[in-house]
Amino acid sequence: MPTPTIVTFSGGAVTGEGLVTRVESGSAGTIVVVDATPFHPVDHTWPDQPGDDGTIAAGGDTVRVAEALMAAVSDEGAFAVGSDIPVKRGAEGWTWLVGHRLDGAAPGWLAAGSRVNLSVDVARRDGLSRGHTACHLASLALDLAVADLWRKEPGEDALGNPDFEGRANQSSRIHEDGAVDEYRLGKSLRRAGFDTETFATTLVEREQRINTQLAAWIAAGSSSRIEAEGPTIVDRRRWHCELPEGDAVILCGGTHVESVSEFASITVSLDLTDPQLLVMTTSATSAA
């Protein structure tokens, strides 16, 4: 039986060694699976943060990894990658893996049993980590900025504020130094007690509140980290950020900065061109 891939990205690793356990060619391209990897894969069920890219090397030879993906093999031996995986992440009856999709075919030296060195593109990883942390901070600031618009209790976010993010978010796409989040402002949200009409008429004010809050959090320079329940790709991981208002803890499988002081700025813009759909665009600037 295969064993789940051990991952080290949650601790900030960008390099590592591993043993190739399988090389597969199919509709997703050439996929290399290694027993341990620093690569962060894109999640097939909630693809918010893209997978890392980088290289695999051995004995002076190198191949490029175009993207790290979730992969899985069933107890019956069926191997699936990315969106072709027919079950949710962590489902029983499947062993969960990280697949490294190559730009082309695998060379002869890259085969099951090979010992290899893995290296992540550090600049891109850093940009995605800033984008992901900025995304979480922006969502918490959004929740706080619209907290007065709830007529019913929608549940609490990680800081104890009304959870607009959890109720309305329908998609999140993280990129280097930013993110785009979409929130559905339909009948179900109004029935849940959210005042969409007042929100629409005070959109500029809400945006200003968010950006003021984000500036205050950057000035506080809070620590940021990932804590994992275990070493495999399907073990739960949580983002912790010690903000002045409290320790925010959010389930998250992505990568993050080590401190909010790594940002020079985080700003958002709110777009309500479609009155049923709020689009929040988050932009971050590195302090380096």
Residue 183 forms part of a structural domain: yes
Are residues 20 and 132 part of one domain? no
* Per-residue pLDDT, 252: 96
Summarize pLDDT for 160-217 with one digit per residue, the tens.
999 999 999 999 999 999 999 999 999 999 999 999 999 999 999 999 999 999 999 9
Model confidence at 2: pLDDT above 90? no
Q: What value does the mean pLDDT of the chain take?
A: 96
Residue 35 forms part of a structural domain: yes
Strand residue runs (E) in the chain: 6-7, 15-26, 29-34, 36-37, 54-58, 61-74, 79-81, 94-102, 115-120, 169-175, 178-184, 224-228, 237-243, 246-251, 263-274, 277-286
In angstroms, the CA 170 to CA 31 distance is: 30
Cα maximum dimension of the chain: 64
Tell me, what CATH number does 32's domain have?
Answer: 2.40.30.130
In angstroms, the CA 179 to CA 107 distance is: 36
Summarize pLDDT for 45-89 with one digit per residue, the tens.
999 999 999 999 999 999 999 999 999 999 999 999 999 999 988
Are residues 160 and 36 part of one domain? no
Q: Which two tokens stand for residue 243?
A: 């903000």
Are residues 78 and 184 part of one domain? no
Strand partners, 239: 226, 250
* Per-residue pLDDT, 27: 81
Residue 52 forms part of a structural domain: yes
Are residues 109 and 189 part of one domain? no
Q: Which two tokens stand for residue 186?
A: 């339909």
Domain that holds residue 188: 124-286
* Per-residue pLDDT, 28: 79
In angstroms, the CA 127 to CA 50 distance is: 11
Among 60, 85, 120, residue at a domain's last position:
120
Residue 1 forms part of a structural domain: no
Provide the CA 36 distance to its chain's centre, in angstroms.
20
Are residues 276 and 133 part of one domain? yes
In angstroms, the CA 126 to CA 128 distance is: 5
Are residues 140 and 98 part of one domain? no
Residue 211 forms part of a structural domain: yes
Residue 131 forms part of a structural domain: yes
Q: Which two tokens stand for residue 33?
A: 């699976």
Are residues 274 and 147 part of one domain? yes
Summarize pLDDT for 228-264 with one digit per residue, the tens.
999 999 999 999 999 999 999 999 999 999 999 999 9
Q: What is the DSSP pairing of strand 246-251 with strand 15-26?
A: unpaired
pLDDT band at 107 (very low <50, low <70, confident <90, very high): very high
Are residues 273 and 137 part of one domain? yes
Tell me, what CATH number does 160's domain have?
Answer: 3.30.980.10
Residue 258 forms part of a structural domain: yes
Are residues 139 and 160 part of one domain? yes
* Per-residue pLDDT, 89: 85
Among 120, 135, 156, residue at a domain's last position:
120
Are residues 159 and 110 part of one domain? no
* Per-residue pLDDT, 284: 98
Model confidence at 17: pLDDT above 80? yes
Among 67, 102, 120, residue at a domain's last position:
120
Asked if 175 and 128 count as a contact pair (C-beta separation under 8 A), the reply is yes
Total domain count, the chain: 2
Are residues 222 and 87 part of one domain? no
Virtual torsion, Cα 137, 141, 144, 150, nearest 10 deg:
-100
Asked if 268 and 282 count as a contact pair (C-beta separation under 8 A), the reply is yes
- Indicate the pTM of the whole model: 0.96
Are residues 145 and 113 part of one domain? no
Residues 6+ apart with CB under 8 A from 274: none
In angstroms, the CA 162 to CA 156 distance is: 5
